[in-house]
Chains A and B, each alone.
Chain A
């Protein structure tokens, strides 16, 4: 249900991988999947999808927004929401220290970015989770931001797009994190009553309390190729059933076959797919 349960399961983000000494810093990157060297500019131009093997590398929320929005149209909202430590949570490290370290590392206050944008000329509300901040885990700030985005979409009659990637509910806010699942779902019920269009985009990895709330409540659910999406992380399942998991289990293509996602959409086509679906819904 919670973050970190999938930390070791997915493939690692490669952007900060140590480079070979002979290669100039930051110019070349190694694909996390096929291990071929890619010129960094090429990778960026292909939206961080490996030009050799089509592996979809994980990207930050800012990068995601940049990729989705018509240039210069993203207006960030609710950016003043800041996490606090309501429980005084402490494991081997205190939550306060963890938050501070993550904020310094990422330059973000928490694991989500939301606002209004245009996609191929169609106005929409968007919320993108950020894997680089505490595994995209959902605490009060993520829950509140998503809820406000839903409410804003309802009030302004805009289509809503949420791009998920998350380890799940944030343990360090315990019951309050859990309640964000109910809060976001309840807001989506009202959006549904108002006839709103919600497109949920699942990216690698989406698990736990995020999957078990808004991520699965899309009128239309899209997933990026190869994205790991599940309720429980693969490790937990393996420990429970004590047998090998089938090849491709919990990956986007498997979910499509299981009837859980509508379409598997390569990153390069995401904008046009979303625009197309918005048109079908007449929004």
Chain B
């Protein structure tokens, strides 16, 4: 009986440790990062911190919170720079906080913490009003001082940054719908359903057409005038992030590692999909000479993610291996291309336009 009891006690102990481990790994706070940049600085949301980094040499300007990590915060969303010098950071942690930082020194201007669920997507600013989608399915509207103006239940979990043409706000939802919210009436004017969940934003062109990719393994164009799908192209894998417009071409990556280019007029493919070394979860970055995308790499073979530069005919101009997985969309900062790998020591890597590493940024321990 003694042996049996000891055995059960040992099992319980192992079980507790394993279960705690499961929980921790499920909510790894550094599992995703958010990135934005202006001409001089990069802003990186990573785990429990947000960093400002100078593009000159990758040196840290400040970190938020300055005094140390708050375990209730977890920053996944891309920080948003506003015209009046605020940096909006949204937390997926248990605090459910949306905070405005002063970009000059990283101190908090205000915090909005009335949402009931984590923030996965970034807010967007239209005409001096902040529209913040939450995974509770509600769109929170704030003034630039963080005061709640109104809120609207949209539906599903909202994980992506809304886009706007000034009159309407277009919100994609994990409930498979694209919602058009009339900013004047604050009511949903119309919605269009697509094949699968929409974790990424829509892209919008000057004619008012929306382009979305979904977990239905498709890319669709939605006409905002007819409020219906104009074309729908099937592809091999699920689409995670927003497609990127480049004139009359639409670029998008899928989770099967294919890089696609579509004609915006009819959804036909410009060139055959380019197969890369792993799933593509970030939107492509369009530059003058090529398009840049990052990959997760291959987890089974432990192959790191890669940055690819692809020309407009589908040829690979250069490729650069970066330690870690590249989940977040690359961002241009000055003459540099920025990637924020996860599962790596360097949480931000800057490449020049030839794909050579300019500098890595590793936070001080």
Determine if chain A interacts with chain B: no
Interface residues of chain A, those whose CB is within 8 Å of chain B, are none
Interface residues of chain B, those whose CB is within 8 Å of chain A, are none
